[in-house]
Amino acid sequence: MILLPIVGRELRVAARRSGTYHGRTWLALGALVLAGVVLGIHHLSRGGTAMPAGQVLFEVFKWLSFVAAASSGLFLTSDCLSDEKREGTLGLLFLTDLRGYDVVLGKLATHGLQAVYAFLAAFPILGTTFLLGGVTGTDFLRVILLLLNTAFLSLSVGALVSAVSREAPRALTATMALLIGLFGGIPLLDALLAKFLGTKGVILGWLSPSYTMAMVGSRQPGIYGEGMLGITLMGLGCLVASSLILPRAWQPSTGKERRRSRPDARRDVGAGVQPLPTPRRRVLNRIPIAWLASRHRWISWALWIGVGLTVLILGIQYAYTPTAKPVAPGTVQFDGVPRLMVQLLIGFVRLWIAIQACRFWTEARSSGAMELLLVTPIRPRDIIAGHWRALRLTFLPPMGILLLVLGAVGYEQMLQMEQMNRAAFTAPGSNISAAEVERILSELRNQMRVQLGFELLHQLSTFVALAWFGMWMGMITPRIHVAVAKTLILADLLPALATLLAFMAIQMSASRIFTGTGSSIWFGYGAEGCLSLLFDGILVFIAWRRVRRWTG
């Protein structure tokens, strides 16, 4: 018998896909364009960043590659095994003498090869940082090994979730939650434990690749090795668990399905069934598509639980530290943990919006429900309006609460920044008068208010853009994980990168045009906010037109 036959089969299938070759070509082209833009901005600033061009380019590509490696399991392996379950081909594999590790390693090999090809396409551009200076060979080698190990962990987590799941949306959601917990939740929990317990060392940070990536340039012994060892062990543990679980979870539980089928059967007959609650019955009578798209009530409950836990943790933290504490004469302690918590939860909600926006259309097309809907008196535009209403009912209330919390946290940080600047301006040896200090602080306060306002508006516009763009991608893409990946890349990542690069270029140009520094900062913040809203508006308009055209 051939060793690992599924690996050979999956690799042959992947070699015949055009996306295997086109993907890395477009990625290399995008990386080349991004490198040119970063180097151009650095040249326009005339070295004003206090870092060599090679180091700037290295940091940009390092973190972008890290985000891609961390999310590879979400888009590549989170549905690789559950898809075989839904198609009924997984059971046929286990009728042979194959084992669980044969199937898991086969799926991991073909999808991991796509991730490795993508990184190999971008690594030569990352290697040009040697020629530009500011990067050592040790740091470059450490980053490459850590990126490959991070991709291995992410792919293993996706395979584990796919082994225990059957539905693609739930597999995507569970994978997303686990990855956010690994890459963002563990460092955040470590920071909270260090703050509440008063410890100075790292408690759980070595379990997160984010902490290891942040400490790549550190010369402290053992930090990089411990992080790499922890990532490898967690990835191997996920693979072993997937291999043990898959042979026992490839078919649904008959008892569980029987219990679920009884209420449905009684409802069809109409014997003794309790009516729906009044709010849901009202939605069903007025807009049936909205009820159909929002019938999964666990999504709303999970969102509200996440919002409630975030508000509770922030309340406890502010109860411990109600104001910024001076830690030294002329300095003030600045805490960025609350803002990081809210940003992580908002990022989770944005990913969930993309999943739910694509889910309805992909499921309706694959199950044939869309054909049944189109032969009813319901018009195509009513289907679009109902889905959009369902997304608003599900996500807009918790998103509004999160934006209020973000505004409160931003206002608190604005006060902390004001105290820090006041302590710096009034430090011993400063020659700035009291009136000048108040004028500068008032100018900075207004700038931060404008920046916070544009950020809140941008979060709302991104919600609308992800919803409409996700509906469009769900209509034209048969597989949900591909539709979600297109939605996040085209409607979230690329506009954010374009806005950031445009803001840097405008800020540098404005510093030359305007004589006062305050005017250039005002112009830069206004341009950044307007550009972000403009990009989101263009995406919403294009997606809306495409959705209307595809539905006739």
pLDDT one-digit tens code per residue, 177-233: 888 888 877 777 777 777 666 665 566 767 788 888 888 766 666 678 888 888 899
| Domain spans in the chain, listed from the N-terminal domain onward | 22-249
Q: What residues form DSSP beta bridges with 328?
A: 331
Both structure tokens of 227: 């992080």
Determine contact, residues 160/246, Cβ cutoff 8 Å.
no
User: How many contiguous H segments (helices) and E segments (strands) does the chain have?
Assistant: 24, 0
Residue 350 has pLDDT above 80, yes or no: yes
Distance CA 91, CA 366 (A): 21
pLDDT of residue 444: 79
Digit-coded pLDDT (tens) for 72-101: 888 888 888 888 787 777 777 777 777 878
Which of 129-138, 146-155, 525-534 holds the top average pLDDT? 146-155
User: Taking residues 339-351, what's their average pLDDT?
Assistant: 78
The Cα-based distances of 10 to 78, 155, 436 in angstroms read 16, 16, 69
| Cα separation, 345 vs 113, whole angstroms | 31
Proportion of the chain above pLDDT 90, given as a percent: 3
Write down the pLDDT at residue 277: 52
Q: What is the mean pLDDT of residues 161-170?
A: 83
User: Higher pLDDT residue, 136 or 2?
Assistant: 136
Tell me: pLDDT of 360 over 50. Answer: yes
Task: Say if residue 163's pLDDT is above 70.
Answer: yes
The chain-wide mean pLDDT, for the chain, equals 76
pTM of the complete model: 0.74
Q: In this predicted structure, what is the pLDDT of residue 54?
A: 81
Task: Quick: pLDDT tens for 244-273.
Answer: 888 887 666 554 444 444 444 434 334 444
Q: In this structure, which amino acid lies at residue 69?
A: A
Say how far apart CA 114 and CA 485 lie, in whole Å.
Answer: 14
pLDDT band at 157 (very low <50, low <70, confident <90, very high): very high
